[in-house]
């Protein structure tokens, strides 16, 4: 399956060849987006649902004085809100953090998929519920966890999400984030982010080099951050021990 959305949905259910082909056909309107360029900006007409096919992106809000909060990261296979086409204009922005390839699924195609393929519809609702679960966990992260726990939790989450679409390399995954972007996602200052990264490195828990994150001790990071992958609702963890899931 070359389409990362199909790889993601495979964590929930097996789609038929017809359903898979319908998804691929709905994703043919694609464009390249340069790093730090908006995929779609707040106030733009929605026009359809954005699907990240390649790269790394974020959802963000900006205050009038320029301060920015990143409220979600997107890995390949992520839909940037399945229901957004119902709105006339965007109330937030989607930005590419690295060079990315994005598909736009038109409103008509979204409705056609849901009308014709009930199993696929259920899988897409699962994807939406996972997005909402991640959003709840991010709120908990910035509201209750300390800096070390926040960063460790984010790193664990991203590895699991990249692994769910087959884009990890063992315990490594891409992470093309600056310290400023990490600060904007974790609710910390850039100085605090630097200190926290150094603390994780000193404990030999991570390496972060040239845009690649490696979790050197996943069990220790999960324990440190009180990370439980159940909120990601990934089938490869169902019925397995935590240790077996880590080795998958």
| Cβ atoms of 126 and 118 closer than 8 Å | no
Residue 79: pLDDT band (50, 70, 90) is very high
For residue 235, the 8-state DSSP code is G
End-to-end CA separation in angstroms for the chain? 19
Q: Residue 85 has what pLDDT?
A: 85
Q: Residue 1 has what pLDDT?
A: 54
Q: pLDDT tens digit string along 168-181?
A: 999 999 999 999 99
| Strand partners for 52 | 102
pTM above 0.95, yes or no: no
| Cβ atoms of 127 and 79 closer than 8 Å | yes
């Amino acid at each position: 399956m070359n389409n990362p959305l199909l790889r993601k949905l495979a964590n929930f259910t097996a789609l038929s060849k017809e359903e898979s082909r319908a998804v691929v056909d709905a994703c043919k309107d694609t464009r390249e987006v340069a790093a730090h360029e908006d995929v779609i900006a707040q106030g733009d007409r929605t026009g359809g649902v954005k699907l990240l096919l390649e790269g790394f992106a974020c959802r963000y809000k900006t205050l009038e004085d320029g301060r920015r909060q990143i409220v979600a990261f997107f890995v390949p296979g992520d839909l940037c809100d399945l229901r957004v086409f119902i709105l006339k204009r965007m109330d937030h922005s989607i930005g590419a953090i690295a060079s990315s390839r994005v598909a736009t699924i038109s409103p008509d195609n979204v409705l056609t998929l849901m009308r014709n393929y009930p199993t696929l519809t259920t899988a897409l609702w699962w994807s939406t519920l996972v997005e909402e679960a991640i959003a709840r966990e991010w709120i908990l992260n910035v509201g209750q966890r300390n800096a070390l726990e926040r960063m460790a939790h984010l790193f664990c989450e991203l590895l699991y999400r990249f692994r769910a679409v087959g884009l990890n390399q063992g315990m490594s995954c891409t992470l093309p984030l600056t310290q400023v972007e990490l600060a904007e996602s974790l609710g910390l200052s850039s100085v605090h982010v630097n200190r926290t990264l150094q603390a994780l490195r000193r404990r030999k828990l991570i390496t972060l080099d040239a845009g690649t994150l490696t979790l050197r001790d996943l069990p220790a990071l999960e324990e440190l951050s009180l990370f439980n992958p159940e909120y990601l609702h990934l089938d490869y963890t169902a019925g397995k021990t935590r240790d077996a899931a880590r080795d998958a």
